[in-house]
Structures are given as C-alpha cells and as structure tokens.
Amino acid sequence: MSLGSNLIDRDRKHLWHPYTQMLTCPDPLPIARGEGVYLYTEDGRKILDGISSWWVNIHGHAHPKLNAALAAQARELEHVMFAGCTHRPAVELAERLVDVIPSGLNRIFYSDNGSTAVEVAIKMALQYWRNRGEPQRQTFITLHHAYHGDTVGAMSASEDSVFTRAFSRLLFPVVRAHAPYCYRCPLGLRRESCQMDCLGDLERSLKEHGGKIAAVLVEPMLQGVGGMIVWPAEFLAGVRALCDQHGVLMIADEVLTGFGRTGRMFACEHASISPDILCLSKALTAGYLPLGVTAATEAIYEAFLSQDRGKTFFHGHSYTANPLACAVAIASLDLFGESDVLGRIGRLENQLHASLDPLRTLPRVGDVRVIGGVGVVELQGDEGYLDQIGPRLTAAFLERGLLLRPLGNVLYFMPPYVITDLETEWAIGQIRTVLAGL
Ligand code: PLP
C-alpha cells in the first residue's frame, strides 16, 4: 500500500496517542469494527478485547439494543446545554440511577468522563464545607496506590507516580494513608492473622488533621491503575466508620468498579455502605460515549441552596448530560434488567478463580487476585508501571489474538461480561501458556 493511503502511516503523521511513548511504541492496532467481545482490524485480524477497551465495555461491542437506543435518540435531540435546559434522557437516567446506586444518594450531577466526575466530587466537597461555614476543611485524605484520573485535581488525589510526577508543581497537597495491599502489606503483616491494622493509618491521619479534612476519597474494593489491588470488605467498612466518627465526607470513586465489575452492581455493596459522594463513568454508558456522574446526598445538595448566588456550584461542561450518552446509559441499565448480568459475572468470577489460582505455582507469579469479572496475576518485580515486562506481554498476547495491557508487572484480564465460558477458557489458556514461557 502506498504511503498516505495506509491507515498506520496516516495515523503516524498527525496523531498523538495517550499513555504511549510514540518513539518506541509499536504501531497502533487499526481497528475497523467490533462485535461482542471481538475487535476486527483493517488487515483482517480478530482480537478478543480482554480489557473491555479500558474497562468501559460491558455488554459487548456494537450491541444491537444499544445501537438502536443511540440511533433513536439521535433522531430526537443530539444535544442541548444543561444550564437552564433539561431533557427526558437526563431526567430518566437520574431516576434510574437513584434506584440502583447505594441508598441516600439522591442528587445526580452530570459531567463527561471519570476524571471530571472526580473533579466535581472534590470541588463539591470543598464548597459544601465552605457553604456550611467551615471553610478551613480544605484537605483531602486519599490512599497510597490511588488513581483518580488525569486532570489536575484528580492527579493531586492520586498516588505520586510516573503518571503525575511531571506535573507535581501544579498539584495540591493531600494526606495519604495506607491502602490494604495485602500482597505487599505496608505493615509487613499477613491477612490471615492481621486485624486490618492498616486502617490505623487513616485513623491517625483523621485524628492529626481533624477539623481540616473535607473528605476521604477512595476507590472501593479495587484500586485499578495503582495495581489492581483487591480489598478485604472490612477495610471499606472501616473507612465509612472512621469518616462518620470524625464527621468528614466519604467519596467513593466507582468509575472503574461501578456497574457490576466487582460482582455487585456497585463495589460499596460489598461492605453494605453508602458514601456521601459517588463518582461514576466508564461502564455507565456500556463503553459507548463519554459521560460522568457525581451523585450526592440531599444534605450536600441543600448546602448549595441559598438566596446568595455566591453559594452556587459553578461547575459545568459544554457536553454536560449529553442526551445521546444518557439514552445509551438507560438502555444499558435495561440490559441489566432483561438478563441476569450479575449472575453471569458471578459465574465468570468462579471460572477466573478456578483457572487463575493454579498459576500461583509458576515461578514468576507473585500473587493472584480475583474479584467479580476481574482476574489479576501480579508478577514478581518492583519496577511498577514502567517494568518492561508489560509491553513484552502485550506483544506476546496480541500475536495470539488477545488484547491485554498489563500495568507494568500486573497482568489483568477484564473482559466484557458477555464473554462465554469457552472464550474465557481460551483467553486464560493463552495467559497460562505465555506466563509459563517466561
Ligand atoms: N477513577 C478511576 C478509579 C479510574 O480507574 C479512572 C480511569 O481509569 C478514572 C477515575 C478516570 O477516568 P477517565 O479516564 O474517564 O477520565
């Protein structure tokens, strides 16, 4: 093919891809179409999407019902600004969400991706205290290994890492507390015998910084980008209890975990808790369109009601509550109702346990973790995200028709829920073979 007509050549001429070292990266995959769990390339390859296209896809690519919902909405209203206007898809989605998210969260604020859902939560928490006459509460407690997004506020809340270091001058300080990373326990303890001692760090931080804390922000049950760290539910219950004891807000970032990923509709359900603020995105639209939600309690909403316009929440994006995205999100919730999606995730979880647990005996495997539809194999090594094993593994799996993108030495499999037992068996077989060959 001549230069210029080839898609890769044209891509290389003008594009700049995220999370990609353009000088050394292999050519991007030229994806022509998707169907179910498969992606099809322009040059005729069929590739199983083993990471749900960065964790967003849940019902499979090009789902007929989601396609139809999108097309129907496009015929009615593609977009209108959401300040001073409203529309049926936004209202209906808010009602549907309030019915399924953890109880007490009655107010839905829309934005347009996971990072902005977190930015909104941070700003909302800060202004909540200010509007209530406690402006000194300006500090956030977040956890080690946290990842909350790539915008400045979300990066500030995230762990100091290769993702944030170049921007450190821009970031505001937060107090960081231990995460329950049992494989690399920050206290050197063992889960079988510990008393969830790592929670003590959060408790100390709350005591020390007391009245200055606005909120504690966590990724409940599964810290994603920081290494696919699966929590004991007791830790999550402990975070809620400590926030209550110290009178601070709890923010749950369920951008990754929401909509079934951890086996429950929302990860907070594992500990039967409700946060004060909840962040959602990714699977909210089943992988179709960008949309963010920050849900809050009525008490938080009420702190913004005033004759004083200065107490308004001045945050909004051009595409806030985009009707196309809302319509697809509603159709995705319909699919949860129409078939036993959570039951399917439960069976996937069992299969992941049965097939991944035996990999612990492989020489380079350090830990195996499974929660809901997520299977994780952490390889030994201390280099984190920049560990060269990551790109090597990606290339090896791609050759076999499986799209995986390890976080350095942390390999994970997170397929759309519609994957069949047979397809799962095949994918895990590839993982077993490649890891055995290391
Ligand atoms: N929060 C969590 C827990 C995430 O995993 C991510 C993305 O991976 C984000 C926030 C940011 O979402 P987005 O990439 O849509 O900005």
User: For every residue of 58-71, which 3-state class applies, written as one string?
Assistant: CCCECCHHHHHHHH
Report how far residue 296's alpha carbon sits from residue 377's, in angstroms, rounded to the nearest whole number: 35
Tell me if residue 147 is catalytic: yes
Task: Look at residue 2 and tell me whether its pLDDT is greater than 80.
Answer: no
Which H/E stretch holds residue 306? none
Confidence of residue 210 (pLDDT cuts 50, 70, 90): confident
Mean pLDDT, residues 2-8 taken together: 68
Q: Which of 111, 148, 268, 280 to mutate to test the pocket of ligand 1 (most atoms within 8 A of CB)?
A: 148
Residue nearest to atom 5 of ligand 1 (CA): 256
Tell me: do 35 and 81 sit in the same domain.
no
Candidates 282, 288, 319, 417; catalytic one = 282
Contacting residues for 197 by C-beta, under 8 A, at least 6 apart? 187, 189
Does this model's pTM top 0.85? My answer is yes
Tell me: do 118 and 29 sit in the same domain.
no
Contacting residues for 144 by C-beta, under 8 A, at least 6 apart? 159, 176, 177, 178, 179, 181, 186, 226
Mean pLDDT, residues 265-293 taken together: 98
CA 233 to chain centre: 18
Tell me: do 58 and 76 sit in the same domain.
no
Q: Which of 53, 115, 317, 385 to mutate to test the pocket of ligand 1 (most atoms within 8 A of CB)?
A: 115
Strand-pair partners of 365: 379
Report how far residue 64's alpha carbon sits from residue 67's, in angstroms, rounded to the nearest whole number: 5
Number of domains in the chain: 2
CA 290 to ligand 1: nearest atom: 15
Of 308, 337, 366, the position where a domain reaches its end is: 337
The CATH number of the domain where 321 resides is what?
Answer: 3.40.640.10
Tell me: do 308 and 365 sit in the same domain.
no
Q: Which of 230, 257, 282 to mutate to test the pocket of ligand 1 (most atoms within 8 A of CB)?
A: 282
In one letter, which amino acid is 271?
Answer: A
CA 113 to ligand 1: nearest atom: 15
The CATH number of the domain where 429 resides is what?
Answer: 3.90.1150.10
Mean pLDDT, residues 108-129 taken together: 98
Residue 221 belongs to domain spanning: 67-337
208 is written with which tokens? Answer: 């020390």
Tell me: do 49 and 91 sit in the same domain.
no
Report in angstroms the alpha-carbon separations of 50 from 364, 376, 403: 21, 12, 5
Of 337, 358, 383, the position where a domain reaches its end is: 337
Tell me if residue 253 is catalytic: yes
CA 115 to ligand 1: nearest atom: 16
Q: Is the CB of 255 under 6 A from ligand 1?
A: yes
CA 118 to ligand 1: nearest atom: 10
Candidates 49, 112, 201, 253; catalytic one = 253
CA of 51 to the centre of ligand 1 (A): 14
Tell me: do 276 and 244 sit in the same domain.
yes
Task: Look at residue 142 and tell me whether its pLDDT is greater than 50.
Answer: yes
Would you state the pLDDT for residue 233?
Answer: 98
Tell me: do 282 and 174 sit in the same domain.
yes
Q: Is the CB of 149 under 6 A from ligand 1?
A: yes
CA 12 to chain centre: 29
Chain segment 255-266, per-residue pLDDT in tens = 999 999 999 999
For the chain, the average pLDDT equals 97
Tell me if residue 282 is catalytic: yes
HSE toward the beta carbon, residue 133, CA cutoff 13 A:
0
CA of 55 to the centre of ligand 1 (A): 9
Q: Of 302, 254, 344, 313, which Cα lies nearest the Cα of 123?
A: 313
> Is 63 exposed, middle or buried, given 0-12, 13-18 or 19+ CB atoms closer than 10 A?
buried
**Where do the H-state alpha helices sit in 194-320?**
199-209, 233-246, 298-302
CA 320 to chain centre: 19
Could you give phi then psi for residue 424, rounded to 5 degrees? -65, -45
Task: Look at residue 368 and tell me whether its pLDDT is greater than 70.
Answer: yes
Tell me: do 53 and 107 sit in the same domain.
no
Tell me: do 198 and 250 sit in the same domain.
yes
Would you state the pLDDT for residue 338?
Answer: 97
Mean pLDDT, residues 116-127 taken together: 98
Confidence of residue 382 (pLDDT cuts 50, 70, 90): confident
51 is written with which tokens? Answer: 């990471």
Report how far residue 344's alpha carbon sits from residue 419's, in angstroms, rounded to the nearest whole number: 9
Tell me: do 33 and 101 sit in the same domain.
no
Mean pLDDT, residues 401-418 taken together: 98
In one letter, which amino acid is 374?
Answer: V
Report how far residue 322's alpha carbon sits from residue 33's, in angstroms, rounded to the nearest whole number: 24
Of 301, 320, 337, the position where a domain reaches its end is: 337
Helix (H, G, I), strand (E, B) or coil at 374: strand
Instruction: Give the max Cα distance, the chain.
Output: 68
Tell me: do 29 and 98 sit in the same domain.
no
Q: Is the CB of 257 under 6 A from ligand 1?
A: no
Report how far residue 98's alpha carbon sits from residue 280's, in angstroms, rounded to the nearest whole number: 12
Would you state the pLDDT for residue 5?
Answer: 64
Task: Look at residue 4 and tell me whether its pLDDT is greater than 70.
Answer: no
Mean pLDDT, residues 221-247 taken together: 98
Confidence of residue 123 (pLDDT cuts 50, 70, 90): very high
Instruction: Give percent of the chain with pLDDT exceeding 70.
Output: 99
Tell me: do 205 and 298 sit in the same domain.
yes
Would you state the pLDDT for residue 3?
Answer: 44
Chain segment 305-357, per-residue pLDDT in tens = 999 999 999 999 999 999 999 999 999 999 999 999 999 999 999 999 999 99
Would you state the pLDDT for residue 383?
Answer: 87
Q: In what order do the strands lie in the sheet with 277-280?
A: 105-111, 292-297, 277-280, 249-253, 213-218, 139-143, 175-177
Would you state the pLDDT for residue 1?
Answer: 43
